[in-house]
Structure 1
Amino acid sequence: MEKEHLIDKYVQGTISEDERLVLEKLKLEDPDIQKEIDLLSDLKIVTELEDKTDLKNLLKETEAKLKQGETKVIPLFKKAKFWIAAASIVIVVAIGITSLLNPFSPSLDELYAENFEPYKNVVNPSVRSDEDIDAEKQAFITYENGNYSEALTQFKALYEGTSKSYFLLYQANCFMALSNTKQAIPLLEKHSTEDTPLAIRSKWYLSLAYLKEGNKEKARELLTEVISEGGFKTTAATRLLQKLD
């Protein structure tokens, strides 16, 4: 029985006890067989990996082994079945590398565009029957109508006159809707430290603002906080964080 066939069955976990004894004898005669088994076993693990970090580490370890001459090229031409097994492993590794280095993966701008939408008005919802429209209600009507430049001016004046923290959140959203994340960041940073249930909203939008500005480290940090808080945007934050890894 050829050693490549035995190695194949060993790695796949289908080797019989008699075949295992034969393989052990061959390993005593040829120490390189164990190195071949180790390499193929490592590559087989790729098919079971879900975490990209684990895949990266495995590929780095395998590359290091090859550079140090700890592994040898395996003769794969003796049996068609072994060819198929080896080809499958190569395909799996290629897919893994492609997913890591895919030039068509979303850019930071694209990820931002996919995830940003102005925060809805949860403070002062307008009602058609309203007869008395004060300055705050008018500002939110302007905001809901998508007139972010005018709403920004109104929210700024309202914050200066009342110091109500939620106006910081909505000012920042106006800036972001106007493609001005740099101006939004200090407002969101200030609001995210306020003792208010809406503070977690600012952390989500702040993560997006940092993402737009190219600061992936800060974006990851804030997304992790959003996830740990639970509730608001947990699923979206988890998905986005995975795309940044």
Structure 2
Amino acid sequence: MKYTYEDMARYADGLMEAEEQQAFEAALATDAELQQQLALYREVDSSLQQQFGKDEQREQLQGTLQQMRQEFFGTKTAIEQPPVQQPAQQTAKVMPFKRYLTVAVAAAAVLIIGVFVWNPFAPDLYAKYAATQMVAQVERGSHVDSVLQNATLAFNNKEFTEAAVLLAEVVQTQPDNSYALFYFGVALMQSNQVPRARAVFEQLVKGESAFKYEATFYEALSYLKEGNKDAAKDWLEKIPADAPNYVKAQELLKKL
């Protein structure tokens, strides 16, 4: 069968039947790619749990969510596994709204990572590995949410100086917002404010947020941007084997 991010969500929530769970765990024990993608799913889930509000957002986001599921729950995000007979009643199960959102964003994250990690034709290592997109946040109508939406648009349009200014406003208001901090650091680095970017990344590295090891990776990229490969290697080696971006870090290490 094909294990999708929806399957990973059901496994993470303990919603699989015993037979299916055993098959999934057997595949997980031998499939490094499945292990990596489950780790990424859990990382995104942890981050979104801190960012999204309660169920009053359900109606507002339902249409967008359905579109995201159609776009990302296809063969591109599936992992081939030996066939396992599924219990008939599972087709009727419905996942919680927030879980569907997490699954869609995790699938999107993998697709984004795949674009710049596995493309062998990128001529510039820094440009190849620094490329990323901000995942849009849910609007609740507050001023900070409005600023974040504008920052996301600017960032994804590669208007990094403008994005950095907007994200600085969010960080000033919400200094513990690891999502805003991370993309603030990336925007600073992409707009050639490298020392300021490093200060932001180091703050995240010292913490335990979902962006801890992404910040470590981008700290390495900040040195690669300056041509300091030795320092970049040192930071890449700080990323542990159980981090979601370990494979990406090891790939870049081999190229330096």
Range of TM-score over shorter length: 0.3 to 0.5
**What's the TM-score, normalizing by structure 2?**
0.45
- Give 1 or 2 for the bigger CA radius of gyration: 1
TM-score (normalised: structure 1): 0.47
> Which of structures 1 and 2 has the larger relative contact order (alpha carbons within 8 angstroms, sep 6+)?
2
